A and B are shown apart, each in its own frame.
Chain A
Amino acid sequence: MTRPDPTGTLARPPTRFDKWADRSFRGLAATSAALAVLLVVGIVAQIAGQAEPAVREYGVDFLTTSKWDPSGKKFGVLPQIAGTLYSSVLGVALGSLFGVTVAIVLTQDFLPPRLEAVAKGVVELLSAVPSVVYGLWGIFVVIPALRPLANAAHETFGALPIFGTRLSGPGLLPAAFVLAIMVLPTVTAISRDALAAVPGKLREAAFGLGATRWEAIVKVVLPTASRGIFGAIVLAFGRAVGETMALAMLLGNSNSFSWSLFAPGTTLATLMANQWPESGAVEKGALMYAGLVLLGITLLINSVGTLILRRTVRVEEAHQ
């Protein structure tokens, strides 16, 4: 029974258990938050720790030499770094071209709202397909479809370095093609936000001056949203640099760099995925070093992308 109280109230101050539970739960939440920060520190520390012997052994030469020879204990990732950047640039360029166009179509009243929602859903589902399934699809659909075109291009323009080889199987072009599909949802989603944030009155002003729809888009809307779109492309680049499975399945495993779109290639991530299963302790150390390099590159790219996008938000807030 509640004890009689001269004031007649049933209100009681919080019990000791209430207070204890409150303190503990808040402590637990703060600890979880702190652990999330520590996790990233831990990731960097673990990978760096594992890579340390290799860093000591191979030093900067690791970044500037081209040999991957586990039996001779010689390791260099220059072709991988070059290949990572080359394939990412190609994939992101293609993906951005399509991704930004789709974002324009989805935001500038081209489609009736219902169709717009459907198209948006389809693009989002593109990002739900696992990388390994894109790889499988690439092997059995993209490579056979591209091969005759690629070989025709080689026969006709073979003098140009980018068409310098035949596409016999895995190669840079199918890899970049699939990479483009995989980064498209990222580019579209972030660009769409940037385009949608452009004030309607700016567009109206352009229309009021007699601009056609595309003149308004190209001269007013795109420049206003350019920073957000640029941020989207940078973040997509960060994703492309770290993409592993689809590239491991479509790029081949060549350990050398070629400018030809049809030659097999290599990246840091695919090197790790391809070499790991058969690697010994020494090679694992070198692969950890490669991982550390990849970590540095992605952290750099993602920080730049996040900063660009954060600046756009601030600019928009300042305008309000």
Chain B
Amino acid sequence: MIAHDEPRARPAAADLNWGLGHRRTLLSAALTVVAGAMTVAAMVPLLSVLAMLIYRGGQRLTPQLFLALPPAAGMEGGGVGNALVGTLLMVAIATALSVPFGVLAAVFLAEFGPETRLAGAVRFVAKVLSGLPSVLAGLFAYAAVVLATGTYSALAGGAALAVLMLPTVLLTAEQALKAVPRRMREAAVGMGCTPTQAVWHVVLPAALPGVLTGVMLAVARAAGETAPLLFTALFSDYWLTRNPMSPTPSLAVLIFDFSSSPFRNQVEVAWAASLVLVALVMLTNVAARTWAARSAPK
């Protein structure tokens, strides 16, 4: 038992002073310093990447970069024109395939059957898809498109990227639709809208900023994907032809190919291509996030 009335020394007021002399305080302060240092360290790679892109890629940032074809081994000059066009084309195909499909499925999830068994299955599947290794999306598009059409193509590349975009588009669109205030839905239904008219005229327009944010985030991710394109679009050293059913170049595959090149010029072009790609991805990404932040409070 503890004797409460045991005489003890009167605590000094100085005990309340803050000071590193206390062991516990010292430990706490030390941990704060370590955690702070680790946080700063976690930011260093991004700064390093950006610095290298500007330093090494910036040197080649001339009009020629966008207008010329990739340099062959041992050649000087050259650019990434065809790869940029190819990336844009394949991302456009992927957007056209994934967005209507993903938004319609999201409308089902948020509006028509939120508590159905199908909706539960779709949400689970979307989570599975968002964890799908991109290389497997490539294998799938190879089997489903390349083998079926008999050729590597922009279409196959777009299909692979669409698989990767779908979960982002679907899940963000569902969130955006759910965030539309109930009273807007009630106003529409109370006016005598059919469920479709309510979605089409009122709910979807109100959710549009959120839906587009999701699309832009998905686009930013798809533009940088490389692995699936190795299995579906391959590469080409030439400008795109009218025929979309032929191997198609992309910035990402160009960077991969040139990264291990023994020729200094090709490595420089890889850095310049990275700069272009990262600028493309980050601008889309930052624009999407800023827009989402601005249209959120309502």
Do these two chains really belong together in a complex?
Answer: yes
Residues of A within 8 A of B (CB): 11, 14, 18-19, 21-22, 25-26, 28-37, 39-40, 42-43, 46-47, 49-50, 97-99, 101-102, 104-106, 110, 119, 121-126, 128-137, 139-141, 181, 184, 212-215, 235, 238-239, 241-245, 248-249, 269, 272-273, 276-277, 287-288, 291, 294-295, 298-299, 301-303, 305-306
- Give the residues in chain A near B274, CB-CB below 8 Å: 132-133, 136
Contact A291 B256 (CB under 8 A): no
Contact B144 A244 (CB under 8 A): no
Contact B24 A110 (CB under 8 A): no
Tally A-B pairs: CB < 8 A.
Answer: 257
Across the interface, A125 reaches (CB within 8 A) one of B46, B111, B126, B134, namely B46
Question: Does residue B25 face the partner (Cβ distance < 8 Å to A)?
Answer: yes
Contact A294 B48 (CB under 8 A): no
- Give the residues in chain A near B124, CB-CB below 8 Å: 306
- Give the residues in chain B near A287, CB-CB below 8 Å: 139
Min distance, Cβ B194 to any Cβ of chain A, angstroms: 4
Could you mark each residue 128-148 of chain B with 1 if its beta carbon is under 8 Å from any beta carbon of chain A, else 0?
110111111101100110010
Residues of B within 8 A of A (CB): 24-25, 27-28, 31-32, 35-36, 38-39, 41-43, 45-46, 48-49, 52-53, 56, 100-102, 104-105, 107-109, 111-113, 118-119, 121-122, 124-129, 131-137, 139-140, 143-144, 147, 163, 166, 170, 192, 194-197, 199-200, 220, 223-227, 230-231, 234, 252, 255-256, 259-260, 267, 270-271, 274, 277-278, 281-282, 285-286, 289
- Give the residues in chain A near B25, CB-CB below 8 Å: 212
The CA-CA distance from A42 to B159 in the complex, in Å, is 13
Q: Which residue of B lies closest to A11 (CB)?
A: B192
The CA-CA distance from A273 to B230 in the complex, in Å, is 7
Across the interface, B129 reaches (CB within 8 A) one of A40, A49, A128, namely A40
Contact A18 B194 (CB under 8 A): yes
- Give the residues in chain B near A133, CB-CB below 8 Å: 49, 53, 224, 255, 274, 277-278
Known contacts A105-B36, A129-B46; A212 and B101 CB within 8 A of each other: no
Extra inter-chain contacts (12) besides given A30-B108, A30-B112, A133-B278, CB under 8 Å? A22-B197, A36-B126, A46-B143, A123-B43, A125-B282, A130-B252, A131-B225, A214-B32, A244-B133, A245-B256, A269-B133, A305-B131
The CA-CA distance from A311 to B109 in the complex, in Å, is 22
Contact B32 A235 (CB under 8 A): no
- Give the residues in chain B near A102, CB-CB below 8 Å: 38-39, 42
Contact A122 B24 (CB under 8 A): no
* A33, A98, A238, A272, most chain B CB atoms within 10 A: A33
- Give the residues in chain A near B105, CB-CB below 8 Å: 29, 32-33, 35-36
